[in-house]
């Protein structure tokens, strides 16, 4: 049997097994695995020196997705290193290489190695995290002109400034979002992220959802990964992300173990060295978001907070920011987008694939009138198999509240 025949057989086997599990998963597996199967085979001649590795990567993709069918679980390091990571790297590379595969049907494609080189850089960015400090001035005299004049949401240029002009103490926050325990985010890696967060001794650690992938719906896994956060009991708060809904009991038990307060459409007042903070944690809701967020704002109005309190919302999906009643949030913290996943942020530009195809805020600071939204680029990722040009974020936020 030829290599191409072997991989076509592997593809058929996994897809049929996926359809046996469920129609939805069968369609998902058929589409995702189509890329490493067909694109890999189409580019064999153009990448002839790597023919054996192409076959290995294709088979690794079938083993990775087949293992999820047998038993979704967080895999040991050897499996992730030899199977999952090479498989997902190759899937991403084949997504990028699709134009070259079409070219190969009509002739010899030039530069077929380019998407694989890009994917290799993306693999590196998926395994490391950029540590940084972000200064956010909420002084209403510095509202962006367009945002002040309209109700539109605009990217704000004040999210990274060299020297804030304010002399009062800022609120110091570490945001953790979208770690997605799985092939690229081990227990040890997330534990290190949590440990470094605690070592910075912030006023608050705020978790904005999506702890898991389908491989980590395990209370022991999630609890072990979050263990360092016990060092700041009473200062760690969280809201749900969409993937947390897949195993809500797991999330709740892990948080409760370490004294993390999960806010599910709830509010809490917190006293910090920078002053009082009014925290609102919104549950993830897709349908009826306008009514849901309006009702939440009405249930916990500004008048219920201490005088002068900074009003922070935890809202996993930044696409819902526009549905928070105008003027209700000094700052909203979100994740969900993984920074746009694919873009030019690593080169110092703002553009991402997400910003090119939608109006959803992808990363950084955004403004709507006097309201601000900070979209964290996420600690991990899910969905598109790797990052590319959008590094993971591990930041300390210095937040200066609005001056009265």
- The string of DSSP letters for 335-384 reads -SSGGGSBBSGGGT---BHHHHH--S--SEEEEETTEEEEE---SS--SS
Q: Residue 154, Cβ neighbours under 10 Å: how many?
A: 15
Question: Range with the lowest mean pLDDT among 150-159, 241-250, 349-358?
Answer: 150-159
SS3 261: strand
Q: Residue 148, Cβ neighbours under 10 Å: how many?
A: 14
**Phi and psi at residue 348, to the nearest 5°:** 95, 5
Mean pLDDT throughout 11-38? 94
CA dist., res. 154 & res. 316, Å (int): 19
Mean pLDDT throughout 100-127? 96
Q: Are 305 and 276 in contact (CB under 8 A)?
A: yes
pLDDT of residue 152: 84
User: Closest Cα partner for 94 from 385, 301, 363?
Assistant: 385
CA distances to 79, 189, 306 from 85, rounded to whole Å, are 9, 15, 49
Q: Give the relative orientation of helices 51-70 and 3-21 as an angle to the nearest 10 degrees.
A: 20
pLDDT digit string, tens, across residues 175-208: 999 999 999 999 999 999 999 999 999 999 999 9
pLDDT of residue 163: 55
Q: Is the pLDDT of residue 164 over 80?
A: no
Kindly write down the DSSP assignment for every residue of 120-180, as one continuous string. Answer: HHHHHHHH-EEEEEEEEE--GGG--HHHHHSS--EE-TTSS-SS-S--SPPEEEEEE----
Kindly write down the DSSP assignment for every residue of 88-103, as one continuous string. Answer: HHHHHHHHHTHHHHHH
Domains and CATH numbers, the chain: 3-125 (no CATH), 132-400 (3.60.21)
Q: How many CA atoms lie within 13 A of 156 on its CB side?
A: 32
Q: Are 119 and 143 in contact (CB under 8 A)?
A: no
Q: Is the pLDDT of residue 153 over 70?
A: yes
Give the torsion through C-alpha atoms of 343, 345, 349, 350, to 10 deg.
Answer: 70
pLDDT digit string, tens, across residues 213-235: 999 999 999 999 999 999 999 99
pLDDT of residue 162: 47
């Amino acid at each position: 049997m030829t290599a191409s025949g072997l991989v076509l057989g592997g593809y058929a086997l996994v897809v049929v097994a996926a359809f046996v599990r469920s129609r939805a998963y069968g369609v998902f597996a058929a589409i995702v695995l189509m890329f490493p199967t067909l694109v890999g085979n189409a580019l064999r001649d153009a990448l002839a020196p790597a023919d054996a590795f192409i076959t290995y990567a294709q088979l690794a993709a079938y083993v990775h997705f087949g293992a999820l069918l047998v038993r979704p679980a967080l895999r040991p390091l050897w499996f992730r290193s030899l199977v999952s990571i090479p498989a997902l790297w190759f899937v991403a590379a084949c997504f990028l290489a699709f134009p070259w595969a079409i070219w190969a049907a009509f002739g010899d494609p030039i530069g077929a190695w380019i998407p694989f080189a890009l994917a290799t850089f993306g693999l590196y960015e998926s395994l490391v995290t950029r540590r940084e400090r972000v200064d956010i001035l909420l002084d209403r005299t510095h509202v962006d002109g367009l945002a002040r004049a309209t109700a539109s949401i605009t990217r704000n240029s004040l999210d990274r400034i060299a020297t804030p002009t304010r002399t009062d103490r800022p609120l110091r926050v570490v945001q953790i979002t979208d770690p997605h325990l799985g092939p690229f985010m081990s227990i040890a890696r997330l534990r290190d992220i949590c440990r470094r967060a605690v070592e910075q001794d912030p006023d608050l650690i705020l978790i904005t959802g999506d702890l898991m992938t389908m491989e980590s719906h395990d209370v022991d896994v999630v609890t072990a990964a979050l263990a360092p956060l016990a060092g700041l009991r009473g200062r760690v708060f969280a809201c749900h992300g969409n993937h947390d809904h897949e195993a809500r009991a797991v999330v709740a038990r892990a948080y409760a173990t370490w004294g993390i307060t999960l806010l599910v459409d709830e509010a809490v007042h917190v006293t910090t060295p920078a002053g009082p903070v009014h925290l609102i944690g919104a549950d993830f809701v897709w349908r009826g978001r306008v009514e849901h967020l309006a009702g939440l704002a009405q249930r916990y109005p500004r008048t219920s907070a201490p005088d002068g309190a900074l009003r922070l919302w935890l809202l996993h999906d930044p696409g819902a920011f526009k549905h928070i009643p105008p003027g209700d949030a000094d700052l909203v913290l979100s994740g969900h987008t993984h920074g746009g996943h694919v873009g030019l942020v690593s080169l110092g530009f703002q553009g991402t694939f997400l910003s090119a195809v939608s109006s959803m805020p992808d990363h950084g600071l955004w403004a709507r009138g006097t309201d601000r939204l900070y979209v964290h680029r996420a600690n991990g990722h899910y969905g598109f198999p790797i990052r590319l040009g959008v590094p993971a974020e591990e930041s300390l936020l210095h937040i200066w509240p609005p001056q009265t």
